[in-house]
């Protein structure tokens, strides 16, 4: 059995459609559909329930999915069994959107130089999603906002950065923070997200009335809305803010006389032997870059 066919099946289950899974794997929808039909012929059962724009797993598919995922994972480890150094293994890293351009270039360069035979897979996502994938051992590491709970044994955690909270607005103002929050529409950082939960808690500690316009779990989108002069926000000083939005007015909350905690960005990883050397290379590349 070709494990690539199983990877295609897993991709369909994760994305919910043949077309999305095909784009994710870099093949045509017809080719991916052919792989699924081949698997269905081998197993003698339907694996997907297809409609015009979606494909959902059947009960049979859900039953075999855990073993299929394990087979794919083990197949990726075969190269590392041949290479005792571990430099030919597969490293699967998840990363939140605002940290992708900050950390991934260093990791890609380091793996390319020190482990050119390794396979590097990068999974974008939000902190909660990536953490769950880490727990399920579907990824080896994740760059996320700091968890607000105690981590289980077997998960390592390193602090990569601390980001102060800043007030972002389209136009400059000499008004107090309290007056700006009352007078301008406020675009909030979604308090159901990991990062937003902490930021919302800290902002509430200011005990100031806000004219809330909406909440979003995307620092980039919030900043884009501010650039369209739709409101103001208090956000972590995320990487790329000054690179892409340096024309906006960005004022640290500390300048208003308030001492709020900082958002922490963390590197979470499994304490497992297979990708250990690659994890070390990846993490060291971030640390060395941070200290240069």
- pLDDT band for position 184 (50/70/90)? very high
- pLDDT band for position 240 (50/70/90)? confident
pLDDT digits (tens, 9 = 90+) for 54-111: 899 999 999 999 899 888 877 766 666 666 566 777 889 999 988 998 899 999 999 9
Provide the pLDDT for residue 292: 43
291, pLDDT greater than 60: no
Taking the whole predicted model, whether its pTM rises above 0.85 is answered as no
CA pair distance 173, 51, nearest whole angstrom: 53
- Please state which of the ranges 14-23, 80-89, 141-150 shows the lowest mean pLDDT: 80-89
Q: Which domains are assigned to the chain?
A: 3-76 (1.10.10.10), 84-160+264-290 (3.40.190.10), 165-261 (3.40.190.10)
- Cα–Cα distances (Å) from 169 to 27, 106, 191, 214, 226, in that order, read 43, 31, 20, 15, 6
Provide the pLDDT for residue 274: 61
Q: Which of 121, 46, 59 lies closest to 90 in space, CA to CA?
A: 121
Provide the pLDDT for residue 187: 95
Six-digit token pair at 283? 């993490």
pLDDT digits (tens, 9 = 90+) for 192-220: 888 888 888 888 888 888 889 999 989 99
Query: What angle (nearest 5°) sits at the alpha carbon of residue 126, between those of residues 123 and 131?
Result: 75
| Mean pLDDT of the residues in the chain | 88
pLDDT digits (tens, 9 = 90+) for 30-58: 999 999 999 999 999 999 998 878 899 99
């Amino acid at each position: 059995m070709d494990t690539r066919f199983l990877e295609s099946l897993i991709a369909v289950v994760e994305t919910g459609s043949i077309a999305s899974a095909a784009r994710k794997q870099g093949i045509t929808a017809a080719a991916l559909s052919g792989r699924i039909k081949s698997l269905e012929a081998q197993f003698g059962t339907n694996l997907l329930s297809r409609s015009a724009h979606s494909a959902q797993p059947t009960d049979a598919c859900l039953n075999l999915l855990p073993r299929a995922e394990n087979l794919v994972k083990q197949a990726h480890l075969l190269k590392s069994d041949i290479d005792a150094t571990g430099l030919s293994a597969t490293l699967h890293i998840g990363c939140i959107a605002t940290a992708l351009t900050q950390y991934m270039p260093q990791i890609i360069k380091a793996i390319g130089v020190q482990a050119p035979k390794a396979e590097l897979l990068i999974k974008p996502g939000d902190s909660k999603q990536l953490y769950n994938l880490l727990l399920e051992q579907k990824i080896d590491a994740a760059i996320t906002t700091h968890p607000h709970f105690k981590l289980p044994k077997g998960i390592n955690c390193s602090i990569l950065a601390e980001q102060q909270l800043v007030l972002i607005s389209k136009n400059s103002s000499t008004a107090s923070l309290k007056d700006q929050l009352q007078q301008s529409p406020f675009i909030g950082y979604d308090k159901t997200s990991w990062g937003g939960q902490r930021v919302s808690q800290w902002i509430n500690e200011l005990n100031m009335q806000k004219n809330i316009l909406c909440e979003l779990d995307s620092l980039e989108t919030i900043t884009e809305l501010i650039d369209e002069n739709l409101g103001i926000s208090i956000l972590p000083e995320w990487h790329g803010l000054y690179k892409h939005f340096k024309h906006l007015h960005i004022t640290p909350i500390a300048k208003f006389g308030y001492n709020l905690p900082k958002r922490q960005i963390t590197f979470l990883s499994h304490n497992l032997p297979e990708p250990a050397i690659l994890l070390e290379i990846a993490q060291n590349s971030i640390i060395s870059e941070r200290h240069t």
